[in-house]
């Protein structure tokens, strides 16, 4: 019998501290007007010292498990999508597993930048479809505030911290992921990266003051690729799900820039009223952006049983991923 992976629980957690555009404008050479008109972002959440990756990820997961109405012991695999783990080693997924009191479930991290959640969804779905796992916790958490250069106005105004989670469970009816398209173009690595701090260019006492230990991005170039790849992979995902664009009830795109979203949906010929956008309040939370938006869309009553939702994301690597989900438990 064919198996499907329904999303049966959803949750999110963002830091307490709100940082507005005006607050940033008091620290660096920028303005509320520039940030809003170029990106659509109004404010973001920034983590305090006690709100590290596993703390936000565990809180989002607890909410998702509660909404799923299952005991933590029912979970047999924990997947965390992040580019900003608690520590370089070991994987933060194991910390979350222990914090949640899930005994002995497998746990690992997925690193695919802003596309990490949709990559994770594809992995979790395949694990459930194969019959290897029954109930999977997929959580995405990123704290870009720790890797940003807070003097670089080109990047630091764009991001926020947060976590979003879902619980997937095996079903025999066609619910959950109907299609997924993943892609990567490593030749563009240099357009969005942290140059130093890995094995290729290690950090040392001599170079630790250099700016290249922080995230850097060629925004204009990334903008063009993001639209192209999200549009192409979305069209492919809709087609592979056996649907027409007008059968998509809601699009939840990566929340990086309102202008990217506007051009994207024009290309997909889907009206703006069918797009969920919350970047005004959170900025770009990287891997967490799609599940945070998904969680808010469900809580605001924008998804109903049987609806088709398109998820699409783009990030460092480059990586991109689009998926069509049939909503319902
Ligand atoms: N405040 C004021 N001025 C600024 C700021 C700022 N915060 N940042 C840049 N500027 C200036 C620039 O210096 C430049 O000035 P210049 O013309 O004198 O050199 C001017 O504004 C215009 O810069 P552009 O780069 O052309 O601005 P653009 O309209 O392209 O917007 C942005 C920049 C918002 C970064 C946009 O390119 C973008 O959103 N790119 C895509 C980002 C993205 O989607 N990332 C995806 C994934 S992220 C991940 O994976 C982690």
Whether ligand 1 lies within 6 angstroms of the CB of 153 is answered as: yes
Residue 17 has pLDDT above 90, yes or no: yes
| CATH class in words for 178-326 | alpha beta
Whether ligand 1 lies within 6 angstroms of the CB of 188 is answered as: no
Question: Would you give the distance in Å from CA 26 to the centre of its chain?
Answer: 29
Q: How confident is the model at residue 1 (pLDDT cuts 50, 70, 90)?
A: confident
Pick the catalytic residue: 21, 125, 257, 284?
284
Residue 65 has pLDDT above 90, yes or no: yes
Residue 140 has pLDDT above 90, yes or no: yes
Report the pLDDT value the prediction gives residue 32, as an integer from 0 to 100: 98
Q: Which pLDDT tens digit goes with each residue over 71-92? A: 999 999 999 999 999 999 999 9
Give dist(CA 89, CA 307) in Å, integer. Answer: 40
4-174: CATH, from 3.30.590.10, 3.40.718.10, 3.40.47.10, 3.30.365.10 = 3.40.47.10
State the pairing for strand pair 319-326/176-184: antiparallel
Report the pLDDT value the prediction gives residue 200, as an integer from 0 to 100: 96
- Please check whether residue 119 is in contact with residue 152, taking contact to mean a CB–CB distance below 8 angstroms: no
DSSP, residue by residue, 43-95: EEEE--TT--HHHHHHHHHHHHHHHHT--GGG--EEEEE-SS-SSSSS-HHHH
Residue 59 has pLDDT above 90, yes or no: yes
This prediction has a pTM of: 0.97
The mean pLDDT of 253-282, rounded to a whole number, is 97
Whether ligand 1 lies within 6 angstroms of the CB of 145 is answered as: no
Residue 284 appears among annotated catalytic residues: yes
Tokens of 147: 């890797």
Report the pLDDT value the prediction gives residue 250, as an integer from 0 to 100: 98
For a mutational test of ligand 1's pocket, the pick from 38, 183, 225, 316, i.e. the residue with the most ligand atoms closer than 8 A to its C-beta, is 38
Report the pLDDT value the prediction gives residue 196, as an integer from 0 to 100: 96
Cα-based angle 260, 264, 270 (whole degrees, multiple of 5):
135
Q: Which pLDDT tens digit goes with each residue over 196-247? A: 999 999 999 999 888 999 999 999 999 999 999 999 999 999 999 999 999 9
Centre of ligand 1 to C-alpha 220, Å, is 6
Atom of ligand 1 nearest to the CA of 83: 51
User: Where in the chain is CATH 3.40.47.10?
Assistant: 4-174, 178-326
């Amino acid at each position: 019998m064919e198996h499907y992976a329904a999303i049966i629980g959803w949750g999110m957690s963002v830091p307490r501290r709100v940082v507005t555009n005006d607050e940033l404008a008091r620290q660096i050479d920028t303005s509320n007007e520039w940030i809003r008109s170029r990106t659509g972002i109004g404010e973001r959440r920034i983590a305090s010292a006690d709100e590290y990756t596993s703390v936000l990820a565990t809180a989002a997961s607890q909410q998702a498990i509660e909404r799923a109405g299952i005991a933590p012991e029912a979970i047999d695999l924990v997947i965390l999508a992040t580019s900003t783990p608690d520590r370089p080693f070991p994987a933060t997924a194991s910390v979350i597993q222990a914090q949640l009191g899930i005994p002995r479930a497998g746990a690992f991290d997925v690193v695919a930048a802003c596309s990490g959640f949709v990559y994770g969804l594809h992995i979790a779905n395949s694990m459930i479809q194969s019959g290897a796992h029954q109930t999977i916790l997929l959580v995405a958490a990123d704290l870009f505030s720790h890797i940003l250069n807070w003097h670089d106005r080109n990047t630091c105004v764009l991001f926020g911290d947060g976590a979003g989670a879902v619980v997937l469970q095996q079903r025999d009816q066609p619910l959950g992921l109907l299609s997924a398209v993943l892609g990567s173009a490593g030749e563009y690595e240099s357009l969005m990266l942290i140059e130093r701090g890995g094995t290729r260019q290690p950090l040392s006492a001599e170079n630790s003051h250099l700016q290249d230990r922080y995230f850097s991005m060629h925004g204009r170039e990334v903008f063009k690729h993001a639209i192209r790849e999200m549009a192409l992979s979305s069209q492919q995902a809709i087609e592979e799900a056996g649907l027409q664009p007008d059968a998509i009830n809601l699009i939840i795109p990566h929340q990086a820039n309102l202008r990217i979203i506007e051009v994207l949906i024009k290309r997909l010929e889907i009206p703006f009223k069918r797009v969920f956008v919350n970047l005004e309040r959170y900025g770009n939370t990287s891997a967490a952006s799609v599940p945070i938006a998904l969680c808010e869309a469900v809580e605001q009553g924008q998804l109903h049983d049987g609806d088709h939702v398109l998820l699409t994301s783009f990030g460092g690597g480059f990586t991109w991923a689009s998926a069509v989900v049939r909503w319902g438990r």
